[in-house]
Amino acid sequence: MKQPVRVTVTGAAGQICYSLLFRIASGEMLGNDQPVILQLLEITPALKVLEAVKMELNDCAFPLLQDVICTDDAAVAFKGSDYGLMVGAKPRGPGMERGDLLKDNGKIFSTLGKIINDVANPDMKICVVGNPANTNAYILMKNAPNLKPQNITALTRLDHNRAIYQLAAKTEQPMNTVKKLTIWGNHSTTQVPDISHTTVSGKAASEMVDTAWAHAEFMPKVAKRGAEVISARGSSSAASAANGVIDHMRSWVLGTDEGDWVSMAVYSDGSYGIEKGLIYSYPVTCKNGDWTIITDLTNSDFITAKMKESEKELQEERDTCSDLFA
Ligand code: NAX
């Protein structure tokens, strides 16, 4: 039996975590031979609900779940942590500007970054989910210099999976035949869902759907899918977001499939002319716990221009929060 690993999850009494925690504990994220200790962080008023989540986790009798720690103290939640799933954030309230949300949630991530820097395992791998996810990851990275910047990532796998579904539905092919799809950029409506290099059942997607559909229907449908779910459900995507986190971490830790890649928002190395150091979504493969950006794709002028727009948005978000990092 492997040694247990410590998985910290923030916002653990919220919607996404109500799906996420049970799947981590069942072994879907890190493998069914990997015992886990869940270290769950919430704000003080949510601790009672968190205790109920713990009761339900225990009542599942998951063989891999070794312990569940519930706390409102981040130093306890991140102590010795190997994996961090940063879900906890404030939702956007009525009349709140995007800039206000950036600042409020940015503060959470600067505070947690400093604590992680002091108490977590320096090899800790982090996936930021709370919005604005890429910029929150950037703020966390700047406040946690003991961690490798490559170990701080943000979630665009939900967008990637949404895009797979749209393309599979359009081409009437099974979901698992869609390969090499990319989400570039920010997890926002400036994201660039790109099927230029995608294959479906072994055929180029570009031969199966026309460019007008890809640009005018597919791209906005994927980029605005979150809003579509909110308007139907009354709250934001939860189970599918949790599924995206499971997929993101599983690919990162256990590796991607041969002949395919996934989308992850990662530390930019300057590939494709994107500013180095931004947390930008790229196509990546993963092996032995490391990700590698696919660097040899040739992009059309249309996709390149969209990628630059998303980069500009990330630069602006970062500049809005510049007081939160040195
Ligand atoms: P909920 O409001 O249900 O849960 C958030 C939880 O975070 C609450 O229980 C709250 O008490 C807790 N929290 C707030 N501040 C905290 C802090 N400082 N420390 C610890 N916990 C704290 O939201 P939920 O639906 O779970 O969504 C969580 C976040 O995911 C939101 O920011 C949401 O916008 C974001 N999303 C990101 C997605 C992505 O693909 N990157 C997609 C889904 C989702 O929209």
Domain boundaries, the chain: 5-154, 157-318
Q: What pLDDT is recorded for position 98?
A: 74
Residue whose CA is at the smallest distance from ligand 1 atom 12 = 11
Q: Is 74 in the pocket of ligand 1 (CB under 6 A)?
A: no
Residue whose CA is at the smallest distance from ligand 1 atom 2 = 14
Reduced to 3 states (helix: H, G, I; strand: E, B; else coil), residue 63 is coil
Backbone angles phi, psi at 195, to 5 degrees: -110, 15
- Predicted confidence band of residue 92 (pLDDT cuts 50, 70, 90): confident
- Is residue 271 pLDDT above 90, yes or no? yes
H helices within 27-96, ranges in order?
47-59, 74-77
Residue 44, CA distances (Å) to 19, 49, 170 in order: 21, 10, 46
User: Which among 131, 191, 231, 243 is the best mutation to test ligand 1's pocket, defined by most ligand atoms within 8 Å of the CB?
Assistant: 131
Q: Is 108 in the pocket of ligand 1 (CB under 6 A)?
A: yes
Q: Is 71 in the pocket of ligand 1 (CB under 6 A)?
A: no
Pairing of strands 83-86, 5-10: parallel
Residue whose CA is at the smallest distance from ligand 1 atom 16 = 88
- Predicted confidence band of residue 94 (pLDDT cuts 50, 70, 90): confident
Q: Which amino acid is at 167?
A: L
Reduced to 3 states (helix: H, G, I; strand: E, B; else coil), residue 28 is coil
Q: Which fold has domain 5-154?
A: Rossmann fold (3.40.50)
Q: What pLDDT is recorded for position 97?
A: 75
Mean per-residue pLDDT, 201-223: 97
Q: What is the DSSP letter of 216?
A: I
Mean per-residue pLDDT, 131-137: 97
Query: With respect to CATH, is domain 157-318 assigned 3.90.110.10?
Result: yes
Between vectors from CA 229 to CA 224 and to CA 13, what angle results, nearest 5°?
120
Strands (E), 97-139: 125-128
Q: Is 137 in the pocket of ligand 1 (CB under 6 A)?
A: no
Mean per-residue pLDDT, 178-191: 97
Q: Which atom of ligand 1 is nearest to the CA of 155?
A: 41
Residue whose CA is at the smallest distance from ligand 1 atom 18 = 108
For residues 18 and 186, give the distance between their C-alpha atoms in angstroms, rounded to a whole number: 25
Q: What pLDDT is recorded for position 147?
A: 97
- Predicted confidence band of residue 100 (pLDDT cuts 50, 70, 90): confident
Percentage of the chain exceeding pLDDT 90: 94
User: Which among 8, 15, 16 is the best mutation to test ligand 1's pocket, defined by most ligand atoms within 8 Å of the CB?
Assistant: 16
Q: What pLDDT is recorded for position 286?
A: 98
Instruction: Decide if 187 is catalytic.
Output: yes
Q: What pLDDT is recorded for position 96?
A: 74
Strands (E), the chain: 5-10, 36-41, 65-71, 83-86, 125-128, 152-154, 178-179, 182-184, 192-194, 199-200, 203-204, 262-267, 279-287, 290-293
Q: Is 134 in the pocket of ligand 1 (CB under 6 A)?
A: no
User: Measured in angstroms, how far is the CA atom of residue 13 from the centroid of ligand 1?
Assistant: 9
Q: Roughly what angle, to the nearest 10 degrees, separates helices 133-143 and 301-320? A: 50
- Predicted confidence band of residue 125 (pLDDT cuts 50, 70, 90): very high
- Is residue 99 pLDDT above 90, yes or no? no
Q: What is the DSSP letter of 185?
A: B
* Entry pTM: 0.98
Q: Which atom of ligand 1 is nearest to the CA of 130?
A: 32
Closest CA to 262 of 240, 284, 241: 284
Mean per-residue pLDDT, 254-258: 97
Closest CA to 38 of 63, 19, 12, 14: 12
Backbone angles phi, psi at 6, to 5 degrees: -100, 120
Backbone angles phi, psi at 284, to 5 degrees: -135, 155
Q: Is 158 in the pocket of ligand 1 (CB under 6 A)?
A: yes
- Predicted confidence band of residue 86 (pLDDT cuts 50, 70, 90): very high
Q: Which atom of ligand 1 is nearest to the CA of 111?
A: 18
Q: What is the DSSP letter of 217?
A: I
- Is residue 95 pLDDT above 80, yes or no? no
User: Measured in angstroms, how far is the CA atom of residue 189 from the centroid of ligand 1?
Assistant: 18
Q: Is 155 in the pocket of ligand 1 (CB under 6 A)?
A: yes
Count other C-beta atoms under 10 Å from residue 296's C-beta. 6
Q: Are 149 and 142 in contact (CB under 8 A)?
A: no
pLDDT tens digits, one per residue of 213-249: 999 999 999 999 999 999 999 999 999 999 999 999 9
- Is residue 93 pLDDT above 90, yes or no? no
Q: What pLDDT is recorded for position 56?
A: 98
Averaged pLDDT score across all residues of the chain:
96
- Predicted confidence band of residue 68 (pLDDT cuts 50, 70, 90): very high
- Is residue 141 pLDDT above 90, yes or no? yes
**For 240, left (φ over 0), alpha (ψ -120 to 50), or beta?**
alpha
What is the token pair recorded at 315? 């630069």
- Predicted confidence band of residue 101 (pLDDT cuts 50, 70, 90): confident
Q: Is 185 in the pocket of ligand 1 (CB under 6 A)?
A: no
Pairing of strands 262-267, 5-10: unpaired
User: Which among 8, 20, 43 is the best mutation to test ligand 1's pocket, defined by most ligand atoms within 8 Å of the CB?
Assistant: 43
What is the token pair recorded at 185? 């950029």
